[in-house]
Structure 1
Amino acid sequence: MSFTEKSRLKAALAGEEADRSPVICPGGMMSAATTTVLKEFAGSFHTDPLVMAQVAEAIRSHTGFENLGVPFCMTVEAEVFGSTVDMGDAGVEPCVTRYGAEQLDSILDRPLPDPAGGGRSAVILGAIQELSARNQEVPIIGNLTGPISLATSIMDPLIFFRLMRKKPAEVQSVLDYLTDYLVTFARNQVAAGADAIAIADPTATGEIIGGANFRRFAIPLLSRLIREIERTGAGAIVHICGDATVLLDSLNELDGAAFSFDSIVNLAKAKSVLANKPVMGNINTQMLHTGEPQRIRQYVNILLQQDIDIIAPACGISLATPQANLKALTGAVKG
């Protein structure tokens, strides 16, 4: 069988055999939009669907990654729920500058947004439609901010973490409400043409919320998101930051997704625990930023020898990452 980039990633996400591992950078938190690429475009690459689609195509052309991914940040959903976002520029990523809520109730009091109704969520949908129309054999990856990370982008994380302990039922209601929105957003992205949805929940780590809270709050929410994405026919990727080794037993309860890990995680160990589940990663992003291409190629070869299912950066890369290093990564996988 002759594989295209799309069929190769589809096989990897389904745990099926392919000619080799795909090499991707999903977008969202794990975007390969570097200053080198962004400076070629006007400053509307976060707000104009046509420009966003062009940037996604330029990223693939400059780097060799075998996918197209949008958006290039993880502030879209927070803005939809009222947070103020500084859009940055070609050298600075977008960031939340003011939280949209001070209390849990004020999140629930807001009518559930319609992702297609306007704002930057609609920009993402428009960009996916444009990419889908122009790229038949290249997988398009849409992105979601995970529920816990979204909650801590809408209200002060320290307050939210305290409420997880003091008012767990109220926190659960908010997380369920946000997940309602994320489910709809995921469905809309697939309907627009996304072949897979990547969920990045960097706040939901063992180091930050602890293993017990991860099992109590994160696992049911991620399970629901994966299940709903599966129902659309799209693939799912879940990225957990930090040392997720202590979370592997909990993650093993989730079916239907590939799991992406940070560079601190031993992928061979993760693969052995997550039996029959696709494992993705985990090229150190500091090495991609400052390392030598030969060292990057050597690390890629180690992952390939371990039969890692999908090769990708370990986390979000620096905007200053040299294109030569990203090409060394993708070139090593492609041989």
Structure 2
Amino acid sequence: MDALTPKERLLRSLAKKKVDRHPVICPGGMMNAALVEIMQKSGHTLPEAHHVDSLMRELAYDVEENTGFENFGIPFCMTVEAEALGSPIDFGTLSCEPKIKVEAFQSVKDVQFKPKGTMAKSSRVAAVVQSLHYLSQKYPDIPAIGSLTGPLSTSASIVDPMTFLKQLRREKEAAHKVIDYVTQHLIEYARLMVDNGATVISIADPTATGEILGPKMFKEYAVFYLNMLTDAIHEMGVPVIIHICGEMAMVKPQIAELHGDAISVDAFVNLKQMKEEYNTLTTMGNLSTYLLEFSNPDTIYKQAKVLLRNNIDIISPACGLSTSTKLKNIQAFTTAIKEE
């Protein structure tokens, strides 16, 4: 097979088709590779790039150019959706990602439902979709990944998270109403991304873990709403990556029920075993971000080769990267994969 472009390689991998080698990516959002070292080198910096599309697209290009990851991944945080739905944001610093200052509502019963079209009116959503449009047009061979915060995590970013998690049990009807409302806005946001050139949508939902929810609620809430969102994106003609944090032991059977085109997991999940147990899964991951931050290039190179030997379909960091991760460590990782 002739060498594929990065876009062709990723899309073929997601479609379970033959590829020349494994893609190596970092999709943005929770899995953001805007390292301090890159920003200091380029002068395209956060937090300014969270707001200004010209800076956002330049920083996304800087990340792709310097790290060796074979994609553009934006935005660089998980707060765009929550801000549009009412929660105020602390936009952080060069080295510290944005976070929710305080959730907009104390209870699922307090949520004030914003109308359809809310996402399109958000200035930060506009910066994201304008960046996707520019990058997808200027660099058509590189996949532009639009990163979404998943339904439960976004819901827990507009409602006090401790209260929200309790109300998943105690106020089911109201909780479902809120998560459905959030999911509809996420579908709207995804459509804006797709209409502006997103090659793939990546959904990260760190609140939707088996450890937090347990098997029954994971199926009732996480699987149901992730599939609702994924199915809507599939109708737009675009594949979906789903990242699930945490240990999988309690919810492993439900993972196979997710409709994502690839499932991304944390470092302590045995992806080789999961791939053997569910041979229809397209697996993604899962090099330890602790290793990437604190180890050395030689060790990282060797661990990357293990992922190749285990035939993980799409190679990526396991979860969110520290912005202080050394660039040489990331480059050792991507080099190991590209030498395949």
- TM band (smaller chain): over 0.9
In the alignment, structure 1 residue 240 sits paired with structure 2 residue 244: yes
Distance, in Å, in 1 between the alignment partners of 2:84 and 2:159 is 13
Distance, in Å, in 2 between the alignment partners of 1:293 and 1:82 is 42
Q: Is contact 2:68–2:334 with CA below 8 Å preserved after alignment? A: yes
In the alignment, structure 1 residue 45 sits paired with structure 2 residue 49: yes
In the alignment, structure 1 residue 264 sits paired with structure 2 residue 257: no
Distance, in Å, in 1 between the alignment partners of 2:249 and 2:38 is 34
Pairwise CA distance, 1:53: 0.3
Among residues 184, 191, 202, which one is paired with 1:187 in the alignment? 191
Pairwise CA distance, 1:103: 2.5
Pairwise CA distance, 1:170: 1.0
Task: Report the 3-state secondary structure (helix = DSSP H, G, I; strand = E; otherwise coil) of the residue aligned with 2:101.
Answer: strand
User: Within 5 A, what are the aligned runs for 1:81-100?
Assistant: 81-100=85-104
Distance, in Å, in 1 between the alignment partners of 2:207 and 2:90 is 20
Aligned residue pairs, count: 335
Task: Report the 3-state secondary structure (helix = DSSP H, G, I; strand = E; otherwise coil) of the residue aligned with 1:217.
Answer: helix
Task: Give, as a single letter, the amino acid of the residue that structure 2 aligns with 1:208.
Answer: I
Aligned to 1:18: 19
Q: Is contact 1:260–1:282 with CA below 8 Å preserved after alignment? A: yes
Among residues 223, 226, 231, which one is paired with 1:222 in the alignment? 226
Task: Give, as a single letter, the amino acid of the residue that structure 2 aligns with 1:211.
Answer: P
Distance, in Å, in 2 between the alignment partners of 1:118 and 1:110 is 12
Root-mean-square deviation over aligned CA pairs: 1.2
Deviating beyond 6 angstroms after TM superposition, the runs of 4 or more aligned structure 1 residues are none
**Structure 1, residues 216-262: CA drift from partner, whole Å, max 9, x if none?**
11111111111111111211000001112332210111234200000
Flag structure 2 segments of 5+ consecutive residues without an equivalent.
none
Distance, in Å, in 1 between the alignment partners of 2:11 and 2:122 is 30
Pairwise CA distance, 1:323: 0.2
Distance, in Å, in 2 between the alignment partners of 1:326 and 1:59 is 11
Aligned to 1:295: 299
Aligned to 1:249: 253
Task: Report the 3-state secondary structure (helix = DSSP H, G, I; strand = E; otherwise coil) of the residue aligned with 2:18.
Answer: coil
Q: Is contact 2:135–2:144 with CA below 8 Å preserved after alignment? A: yes
Q: Is contact 1:15–1:276 with CA below 8 Å preserved after alignment? A: no
Task: Report the 3-state secondary structure (helix = DSSP H, G, I; strand = E; otherwise coil) of the residue aligned with 2:20.
Answer: coil
User: Within 5 A, what are the aligned runs for 1:51-130?
Assistant: 51-130=55-134
Distance, in Å, in 1 between the alignment partners of 2:109 and 2:301 is 50
Distance, in Å, in 1 between the alignment partners of 2:286 and 2:61 is 23
Task: Give, as a single letter, the amino acid of the residue that structure 1 aligns with 2:105.
Answer: A
Pairwise CA distance, 1:111: 2.6
Distance, in Å, in 2 between the alignment partners of 1:271 and 1:4 is 26
Task: Report the 3-state secondary structure (helix = DSSP H, G, I; strand = E; otherwise coil) of the residue aligned with 1:260.
Answer: strand
Task: Report the 3-state secondary structure (helix = DSSP H, G, I; strand = E; otherwise coil) of the residue aligned with 1:228.
Answer: helix
Q: Is contact 2:79–2:100 with CA below 8 Å preserved after alignment? A: yes
Aligned to 2:5: 4
TM-score after normalising by structure 1 = 0.97
In the alignment, structure 1 residue 327 sits paired with structure 2 residue 328: no
Pairwise CA distance, 1:121: 1.2
Distance, in Å, in 2 between the alignment partners of 1:234 and 1:109 is 28
- Range 51-60 or range 113-122, more displaced: 113-122
Pairwise CA distance, 1:95: 0.8
TM-score after normalising by structure 2 = 0.96
In the alignment, structure 1 residue 166 sits paired with structure 2 residue 170: yes
Q: Is contact 1:249–1:273 with CA below 8 Å preserved after alignment? A: no
Q: Is contact 2:301–2:336 with CA below 8 Å preserved after alignment? A: yes
Q: Is contact 1:255–1:277 with CA below 8 Å preserved after alignment? A: no
Identity %: 39
